[in-house]
Amino acid sequence: MPIPTVVHYLSVHSQVADLTEHLSRGSQGPPTPVARTGLSDVYLMTLTDSTQVAVKCLRQHDPKHIKRTARELSIWSKLAHGNILELQGLAVFQGCLAMVSPWMAYGSVSSVLRRWPDIRRFPLCLQLAHAVEFLHGENVVHGDIKGDNLVMDNNGVIKLMDFGLAIMSEAVFQFSQTDPGGGTGRWMAPELYGDDPQRSKETDIYAMGMTMLEIITGDVPFREIKAGHSVGMAVAHHRRIPRVPELEAETASGQDLLVHALLKWCWKYDPKERPTAGKVVSVLGPLVEI
């Protein structure tokens, strides 16, 4: 499907604003990415009203990747919550279909933790749980929850982003989903390492627990396993869960012990035994001073 057709479809059916003509190109030559992910480049751009925005586009421009971007835009456009990064619109940028969102100057939660190591961690975990509770209430599975997909705004509010692997149930899209599996190794539930991996609310809960661990420790899950490719074997075949010395020490508070128990609940090997996001919110909420 040609990009102009996709832009028209999303503008009409998903009410996604076309910001192509509102991006300020400047006069200093072609823009360069300020960040790169596995599949995408992110550019810091300015709208004609001087608002700074992040423009994200996949490096591949073939029909498969155009469809992937269109699906992400279609799902993202339906999500409005304080802990979900806002989609401002789309743009045709340097020949590719791009997503436009507010610029988050503080960057990912990992960057925030390095910059402010004394920041209180449990309130950030609660904000993440609120985001996932909202998504699941909308029958959306995120599919790739991890610290790199969490950013913080200038008010200290955590925002979940990147819906490239998201699945929206009970919805009909012009742009179909072709890849049911996926995720990121250290955050992936054991069932995603099987022969028929299916992203689900339960795999989201597992990844959310791993991301909370990441927030609490400031390090990746299973930091004790140096080779990332070994994590799958440890999780799927040996039913291993991460060590959390920060919550297991003799000096651990009652709050620490409760949070550790909550994390282990999220990491249950059997998906049916994991809590819902709403249950996680109900457990974490009383532990956090709002």
Q: Under a CB-based contact definition with an 8 Å cutoff, are residues 151 and 104 in contact?
A: yes
Write the single-letter amino acid at 201.
K
Residue 57 Cα distances to 24, 35, 60, 265, angstroms = 17, 11, 9, 37
CB atoms within 10 A of CB 175: 19
Domain extent listing, the chain = 3-102, 109-287
Residue 144 catalytic? yes
Structure confidence by residue, pLDDT tens digits, 136-192: 999 999 999 999 999 999 999 999 999 888 887 644 444 444 455 566 889 999 999
The distance between the two most distant Cα atoms of the chain, rounded to a whole number of Å, is 61
Among 80-94, 119-133, 209-223, 244-258, where is mean pLDDT lowest?
244-258
CATH class of the domain comprising 109-287? mainly alpha
Structure confidence by residue, pLDDT tens digits, 62-96: 788 888 888 889 999 999 999 999 999 999 998 88
Q: Which of 41, 144, 162, 256 is catalytic?
A: 144
CA distance 32 to 242: 38
The pTM of this model reads 0.91
Predicted confidence at residue 3, as pLDDT, reads 86
List the structure tokens of 49. 């009203």
Whether the per-residue pLDDT at 39 is higher than 80: the answer is no
The values of phi and psi at residue 233, to 5°, are -65, -45
Predicted confidence at residue 21, as pLDDT, reads 93
Percent above pLDDT 90 for the chain? 57
* Domain made up of 3-102: CATH architecture: 2-Layer Sandwich (3.30)
